[in-house]
Structure 1
Amino acid sequence: MRKIHIIIPLILLALAGAYWLGRSQPRSPSNGVDAMDVDTSASAGQGGAGADLSTVPGGGRARGYFADLLARADAGDLTASTRLYRGLSLCHRLRAMDWSNAMLANELLEAQTRDMTPAQLDGYRAQLDGIESRKQNAQRMNERCADTDAAMMDALVPSLRRAAQLGESRARACYLAMGPGLDNRALARHPEWIDQFRGSVPGLIDAGMAAGDWTVVNILRNAYQPDAEGLLAGVLGSDPARHFRYLKLYRLGAGPGDVAVLDRQLAVAEARLSPEQRSEAEEWAESTFRRDFHGRSSVGAPGLDRDPCVFPYE
């Protein structure tokens, strides 16, 4: 039964992907509106420096759904940029998991049933009954994702950057946290993305803080930590005083579940500072909490250990 429990999260991913595909299908022709026909009046022309998706080699040769999104995203359409990076993110995950999904499905089918209890057999039969429908869902997702060439798959990071610069909060958080490292295979082909990331970081941090985005505070808390790893840490550099600043800010708005962890981290961080540095950092945190966060708690924001690059597929 252990193998059955292992495969369940993969099934849930497939179902979530199928839901995303269903939501993204074109509407009935009778209404004369395609699912991609969105109001771009608020976002058109806000592409932002360094975010031109037309620089993705071969992007114009890609077909269908993603090609349409790419064209709209390159014109500054926030909705299209958001759909594009979320859809391509799912395609990347599906391609990486195809092999392991097939192996786990085979193991499920080969599972020995003679030692199962009646309740376990019922659950096993239910899993077998769902295999065919799940395979059909996976086939639909793979057909959508197969309608892309290598250059279109390389559009994940540029589309994420575009959505981040247009103000989409999830894209901003993921791009700050991972940057072009979200797709290291493509980064090897596009080293210029590192310079684009370096140039984008200050503006995205300012935008996130001005918006009172607790996820950005959490990302910076980690990035400024001494000996932190990752591209953002490399761009910002280790800074114990700033690390303490963002720790203190997050602590001011922390929910009950985070208080103990943050207090322990603050005690360690405080020991690295002079009294003057600590005083300045606390003053900054308190004024920022009042001005940008309006005294608002971080309760309801993603938790301390939440992956900012896990996206909904609506």
Structure 2
Amino acid sequence: MRKIPLIVPLILLALAGAYWLGRSQPRPAAGADGTGADADVHAGTDRREPGQALPAAPGRGAAGGYFAELQVAADAGDLTAATRLYRGLDLCHRLRTSDWSNVLLANELLEAQTQGMTPAELENYRAQLDGIESRKQNAQRTNERCAGADAATLDALVPSIRRAAQLGEPHARACYLATGPGFDTRALARHPEWIDQFRGSVPGLIEAGLADGDWTVVNILRSAYQPDAEGLLPGVLGPDPARHFRYLKLYRLGAGPGDIAALDQQLAVAAARLSPEQRSEAEAWAETTFRRNFHGRSAVGTPGLDRDPCEFPQE
């Protein structure tokens, strides 16, 4: 029993050494023909009609060309390509953050003192090191997907979301309406023209969202029209008590039992700011829109309604 505190730290040191050795190994270089591609890149997102070609998945170091092909197809109005483009670029953006976080966590673990740990604590420590190694390997595979995507390519994330939104992709539409170019503020600092593009896109996206019976869009608008709302969308829409009441009423018509009391309170406050004529007009609009566009369908159970609108599904 007295040998355990001596043997386990040696094992952990060996694991730590293997971890850092793995970090120091160079990534395998891709062949000139781009072989070695990850065959599962973006698998399962093909929603094209039969016979329509898709860009090939990128080989290592070929992601820039892959994204360029998707960009061309998206610009031509291809919804599948536009969806793959914005989700792929979003994945590459998130990879930068996760890489840094994993390195910091690894450093913290490897600097921990194992002297005095109980066998159970040492076993937990080893499990954490194993978890770091697993995340490192997963991140490396994703890095290979993003290899070759330069700064200009990554800066295209916001325009790619806007394009997919304009083509009717509901997740992109919700995210772009909710955050606009603020989704990537670092790139926005280099592209202030995106604000004008956002301003010009908002009316059409709202109209499309309502035409599609998209409760997520209604949820975003009822919040954006609140008197104290902050953000780019409230700034573009401007204060409008009648529209605030309009979207509150529409959302109330589709709300579940658990939301009704709170919404009724909000409606009472909002109604106090309107004339009887304005209130009557807003209620009539909400009821007509609920029947015509939402077909009386409840908002209950709408996927992602209570989540961050920019939390994209990853196939």
- Band the TM-score falls in, shorter-chain normalisation: 0.7 to 0.9
Deviates more, 1:242-251 or 1:99-108: 99-108
2:165 maps to a residue whose letter is A
Matched, 1:296 2:289: no
Matched, 1:77 2:78: yes
Deviates more, 1:222-231 or 1:89-98: 89-98
d(CA) in 2 for partners of 1:132 and 1:295? 51
Q: CA 1:273/1:123 → structure 2, altered by over 3 Å: closer, same or farther?
A: farther
1:39 counterpart (48, 52, 56) = 48
* Aligned counterpart, 2:25: none
d(CA) in 1 for partners of 2:45 and 2:284? 47
**Same amino acid, percent of matched pairs:** 77
Matched, 1:177 2:194: no
Q: TM-score, normalised by structure 2?
A: 0.76
Instruction: Give a deviation string over 1:278-302, Cα, whole Å, max 9, x none.
Output: 2221121111111110100001225
Instruction: Give a deviation string over 1:38-71, Cα, whole Å, max 9, x none.
Output: 7368999xxxxxxxxxxxxxxxx97233222222
* Aligned counterpart, 1:67: 68
Show the 5 A alignment for 1:55-134: 63-111=64-112, 118=120, 123-134=124-135
* Aligned counterpart, 1:157: 158
2:85 maps to a residue whose letter is L
d(CA) in 2 for partners of 1:25 and 1:197? 28
CA displacement at 1:107 relative to structure 2: 2.4
Q: Which has the larger radius of gyration?
A: 2
Q: CA 1:74/1:107 → structure 2, altered by over 3 Å: closer, same or farther?
A: same
CA displacement at 1:266 relative to structure 2: 2.0
d(CA) in 2 for partners of 1:160 and 1:227? 27
CA displacement at 1:78 relative to structure 2: 0.9
* Aligned counterpart, 2:204: 203
Which runs of no fewer than 5 residues in structure 2 stay unpaired?
A: 1-37, 54-61
Checking the alignment, whether the CA contact within 8 Å between 2:63 and 2:146 is kept in structure 1 is no
Checking the alignment, whether the CA contact within 8 Å between 2:106 and 2:129 is kept in structure 1 is no
1:131 maps to a residue whose letter is I
Q: TM-score, normalised by structure 1?
A: 0.76
Checking the alignment, whether the CA contact within 8 Å between 1:177 and 1:219 is kept in structure 2 is yes
Matched, 1:24 2:41: yes
Q: CA 1:311/1:281 → structure 2, altered by over 3 Å: closer, same or farther?
A: same
Structure having greater relative contact order (Cα 8 Å, sep ≥ 6): 1
* Aligned counterpart, 2:223: 222
1:65 maps to a residue whose letter is Y
Which runs of no fewer than 5 residues in structure 1 stay unpaired?
A: 1-20, 27-34, 45-60
Instruction: Give a deviation string over 1:188-235, Cα, whole Å, max 9, x none.
Output: 222221221111111111110011000000111111111311111111
Counterpart of 2:194 in 1: which secondary structure?
Answer: helix
Computed over aligned residues only, the root mean square deviation of the Cα atoms, in angstroms, reads: 2.9
* Aligned counterpart, 1:213: 214
Deviates more, 1:153-162 or 1:260-269: 260-269
CA displacement at 1:170 relative to structure 2: 0.8
Deviates more, 1:102-111 or 1:209-218: 102-111
